[in-house]
């Protein structure tokens, strides 16, 4: 790789890193909203089951089963957030490697 290509690659990777930061903000917000929605639905379901006289030892498990879609959305948003972090970390590693290449090329 010549010096010009390495600097272009670094610039492109840093641009992707900037976009990934914005995407991570959105994913973090979606994660928080999904957690809020799940906890609200779960608490409402627990109260409903209590008022119906369900046995106390079963309430939490039954409530979680009844709000399974909210639980799925929460888990999915968490996985997407973690994947976004890993993608940003991969870009950071790429930038670091390119900077090392650039350093060695300028030293030569």
Q: Domain containing 73 — which CATH number?
A: 1.10.287
Q: How many residues does the chain have?
A: 108
User: How many domains in the chain?
Assistant: 1
User: CB of 23 within 8 A of CB of 86?
Assistant: no
Give the CA distances from residue 45 to residues 26, 59, 68, 78, in Å, rounded to whole numbers and listed in that order: 28, 9, 11, 22
Tokens linked to 66: 């009844």
Contact 69, 34 (CB under 8 A): no
- Structural domain that includes position 17: 3-107
Cα distance between residue 82 and residue 30, in whole Å: 12
pLDDT in tens, the chain (108 residues): 678 888 899 999 989 998 999 999 999 999 999 999 999 999 999 999 999 999 999 999 999 999 999 999 999 999 999 999 999 999 999 999 989 988 888 876
């Amino acid at each position: 790789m010549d010096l010009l290509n390495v600097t272009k690659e670094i610039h492109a990777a840093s641009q992707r890193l900037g976009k990934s930061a914005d995407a991570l903000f959105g994913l973090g917000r979606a994660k928080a909203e999904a957690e809020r929605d799940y906890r609200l639905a779960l608490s409402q379901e627990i109260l409903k089951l209590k008022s119906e006289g369900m046995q106390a030892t079963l309430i939490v498990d039954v409530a979680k089963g009844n709000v399974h879609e909210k639980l799925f959305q929460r888990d999915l948003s968490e996985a997407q957030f973690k994947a976004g972090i890993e993608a940003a970390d991969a870009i950071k590693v790429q930038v670091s490697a390119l900077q090392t290449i650039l350093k060695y090329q300028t030293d030569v």
